[in-house]
Amino acid sequence: MPDTKPVRVRMAPSPTGFFHVGSARTALFNFLLARHSGGTFVLRVEDTDQTRGTAEYEQVIYDALDWLGLFPDEGPKQGGGFGPYRQSERFETYATLAEQLLESGKAYYAFETSEELAQMRADQAANKQAPRYNGAHRDLTAEQIEAFRAEGRKPVLRLRVPEGETRFDDIVYGSITWKNSEIDDFVIAKSDGGPTYNFACAVDDHLMEISHVVRGEDGLSNTPRQLLVYQAFGWAAPIFAHLPFLLGPDRKKLSKRNGSVNLLDFGTRGVLPDAMFNFLSLLGWNPGKGETQEIFTRQELVERFTLEAVNKAGAIFDEERLAWMNAQYLKALPMEEFLNLVRPSLEQYDLSDEAYAHKAVEMTRERLHGLPDIARGDDAAKYYGVANFGNGANYFFSDEYPMDAVGAAKHLTPENMALLEKLTEKLEALNSFDAAAIEGAIRAQSAESGVKVAALVHPTRLVVSGKTVGPSLWELLEVLGRDRVLRRLKTENIQ
Ligand code: GLU
């Protein structure tokens, strides 16, 4: 029978104060699945362990999802028919349901103190046994329970894990089986009455009618316990899909140690949300064998996304690729928007000649990828071609730009400088300082002096821009204009 349950997926972050790019990828895949199938994307804030900063930390989640454009259909702010959407507001529900399991015998009180549990673990370690609750309080009598209470002990509630196996089919990882003997009678309600994570998560996913639990690979070890909770209640379990970790360039799990992990930092450093959306979507998912397209609109991704195409190999969070992808998006932005983005990096310059500034920025932008001093310079990974855009465009606005020392040593030789002097005379004599005329002058000089065109192009570019690479030289000279070009070419002005 076809599964006709409506798709309801959720992102369930804990407010920890920052939003990891791995969480962003998880949120994105949930979002894509929901939009692809006309389903619902739910935000649930898992704040049961929160002791401080909840509101502020929760705001970080909203900021991150807003920035990426992943707007939940239901959540603490949006509301919805399955609330409340903060676990801290659902304690009564958890308590009531835990009580139900107690009454049906599926859960039981356990009174061990933390010292006793520590001792149990130490004994198990000494006997080379896996640490797990030994079930000592599984079958306490009413009198024993009374006696423990009389001592002032506060019990936890543990799930009575049945014998057998717990099996599930993960969409990404395939069939997974756990022996229940490897799972101890875990706590579902703590001694203060609060729920444990696995209990709250299973209860919420059920009550919120979540159809697919799509979460990080780190959730995989929790799944059997959550399934045991479903089983204890007799509930149908959702479909699970665990997403492999994002990896750093060293192929180890991406963390602060081997990369940048804070989603919102990328925004600060000039990554466009659309570029991040596109980039993250291709981490662990691909649009099909043989597909070479890499730039996808949000709509295309929504149309093409399926969970079945997620693969279980860890995906590398490659900042070089992100920088490249971001450059593609930056180049496609309307100029006004792009100018606004790079304006801060040009603030020391006079941009009052708007038409000129526009052309200069456009010309620099075209080479956003591949121009070492812009997209891939020292700070390539850090700035993604926006914050340091001014370094790439500096020579358009000021005669004081740094000279590429290696290029200068190679190209600004005495012979070349003599050639430039001659070229300068030719350029000075041009009636119209346009690209075609400039090209003609350079080619004429090359023929006259019996040197390759490159022998004129490289030194000229260095002198007028300080750089070894850049836009087409003739066009560049036209945009810079006669005055600037001649001023810079007069050898006495060359530093
Ligand atoms: N609150 C959990 C976390 O932040 C969510 C895991 C899940 O999605 O079930 O890791």
Measured from the Cβ of residue 152, the count of other Cβ atoms closer than 10 Å reads 6
Q: Which residues contact 67 (CB under 8 A, 6 or more apart)?
A: 263, 264, 267, 273
**12 CA distance to ligand 1 centroid (A)?**
5
**272 CA distance to ligand 1 centroid (A)?**
26
What does the pLDDT read at residue 44? 98
Residues 28-38 as b or e (16 or more Cβ within 10 Å = b): bbbbbbbbbbe
**224 CA distance to ligand 1 centroid (A)?**
15
Largest CA distance in the chain: 111
Alpha helices (H) in 429-491, listed in sequence order: 435-449, 454-465, 473-480, 482-489
What does the pLDDT read at residue 385? 67
**188 CA distance to ligand 1 centroid (A)?**
16
Residue nearest ligand 1's atom 3 by CA:
13
**215 CA distance to ligand 1 centroid (A)?**
7
Residue nearest ligand 1's atom 5 by CA:
12
Instruction: Let me know the angle formed at the C-alpha of 15 by 11 and 19, rounded to the nearest 5 degrees.
Output: 70
What does the pLDDT read at residue 290? 84
Residue nearest ligand 1's atom 4 by CA:
13
Relative to the CA of 10, which ligand 1 atom is closest?
8
DSSP state of 429: T
Relative to the CA of 26, which ligand 1 atom is closest?
8
Q: Are strands 212-216 and 239-243 parallel, antiparallel or unpaired?
A: parallel
Measured from the Cβ of residue 373, the count of other Cβ atoms closer than 10 Å reads 23
Q: Which of 215, 218, 243 to mutate to test the pocket of ligand 1 (most atoms within 8 A of CB)?
A: 215
Global pTM? Answer: 0.88
The residue with tokens 């506060």 is: 154
Residues belonging to the chain: 495
- Amino acid 392 reads G
Relative to the CA of 13, which ligand 1 atom is closest?
4
Domains contained in the chain, CATH given: 333-395 (no CATH), 403-493 (1.10.10.350)
Which residues approach ligand 1 with their CB closer than 6 A?
12-14, 46, 201, 215, 219
Q: How far apart are CA 363 and CA 366, in angstroms?
A: 5
What does the pLDDT read at residue 491? 65
Using DSSP's 3-state secondary structure scheme, residue 18 falls into coil
- What is the edge-to-edge ordering of all strands in the sheet holding 174-179? 40-43, 8-11, 212-216, 239-243, 165-170, 174-179
The residue with tokens 């639990």 is: 213
Residues recognised as catalytic: 256
Q: Which of 18, 46, 57 to mutate to test the pocket of ligand 1 (most atoms within 8 A of CB)?
A: 46
pLDDT tens, per residue, the chain with 495 residues: 445 689 999 999 999 889 999 999 999 999 999 999 999 999 999 998 767 668 889 999 999 999 999 999 999 999 999 999 999 999 999 999 999 999 999 999 999 999 999 999 999 999 999 899 999 999 999 999 999 999 999 999 999 999 999 999 999 999 999 999 999 999 999 999 999 999 999 999 999 999 999 999 999 999 999 999 999 999 999 999 999 999 998 999 998 888 789 999 888 888 899 999 999 999 999 998 888 899 999 999 999 999 999 998 889 999 888 888 988 999 999 999 999 888 888 999 999 999 999 999 999 998 876 333 344 444 444 456 677 788 889 999 999 999 999 999 999 999 999 999 999 999 999 999 999 999 999 999 999 999 999 999 999 999 999 999 889 999 999 999 999 999 999 865 555
What does the pLDDT read at residue 479? 98
Using DSSP's 3-state secondary structure scheme, residue 146 falls into helix
Using DSSP's 3-state secondary structure scheme, residue 79 falls into strand
Relative to the CA of 16, which ligand 1 atom is closest?
4
Q: How far apart are CA 25 and CA 246, in angstroms?
A: 9
Using DSSP's 3-state secondary structure scheme, residue 187 falls into strand
Residue nearest ligand 1's atom 10 by CA:
13
**23 CA distance to ligand 1 centroid (A)?**
9
Tokens of 239: 């479909």
**219 CA distance to ligand 1 centroid (A)?**
7
Q: Which of 201, 206, 222, 242 to mutate to test the pocket of ligand 1 (most atoms within 8 A of CB)?
A: 201
CB 160 within 8 A of CB 185: yes
Relative to the CA of 222, which ligand 1 atom is closest?
9
